[in-house]
A and B are shown apart, each in its own frame.
Chain A
Amino acid sequence: MGLNGTLQGKTYPPVVFEIKEERARAFASAVAHTGEGVPPTLATAPEIAAGLANVIGDPELGLQLSSVLHGEQEYVWTRALRVGETVSAEATIESIRGRASMLFLTLRTLLRDEAGETVVVGRSTLIVREDG
Chain B
Amino acid sequence: MSRRLEDVAAGDHAFEVSRVVTREDVKAYADASGDQNPLHQDDEVARASGFPGIVAHGMYTMGTLASAIVGWAGDVEALVRMKVQFRAPVFMGETIVCGGTVRSVDPEQRVATLDVWVRVERGGATEWPIRRSEAEVRLV
Contacts and interface: CB of A to CB of B under 8 A. Distances in A.
A97 interface: no
A44 B59 contact: yes
Interface stretch (A3-11, A64-72, A103-111): A64-72
Interface residues of B, number: 38
B84 interface: yes
B63 A73 contact: no
Given A70-B58, A72-B85, A80-B77, A30 B34 contact: no
Contact of B33 (A35, A38, A44, A77): A44
B86 A31 contact: no
A127 to B, nearest CB: 9
Contacts of B79: 40, 77, 80
B121 interface: no
A48 B32 contact: no
A68 B17 CA distance: 29
A79 interface: yes
B31 interface: yes
B58 A73 contact: yes
B111 to A, nearest CB: 12
B28 interface: yes
Given A31-B66, A48-B34, A75 B81 contact: yes
B83 to A, nearest CB: 4
A35 B81 contact: no
Interface string B20-38: 0000010011011111010
Interface in B28-76: 28-29, 31-35, 37, 39, 45, 49, 57-60, 62-64, 66-68, 70-71, 74-76
Contacts of A73: 58-59, 62, 83-84, 86
Given A36-B76, A41-B66, A44-B63, A52 B86 contact: no
Interface of A: 23, 26-27, 29-42, 44-45, 48-49, 52-53, 65-66, 69-77, 79-80
Interface of B: 17, 19, 25, 28-29, 31-35, 37, 39, 45, 49, 57-60, 62-64, 66-68, 70-71, 74-77, 79-86
Given A72-B85, A73-B83, 19 more contacts: A27-B29, A30-B31, A32-B68, A33-B67, A37-B77, A39-B67, A39-B70, A41-B62, A41-B66, A53-B34, A69-B86, A71-B86, A73-B59, A74-B81, A74-B83, A74-B84, A75-B81, A75-B82, A80-B77
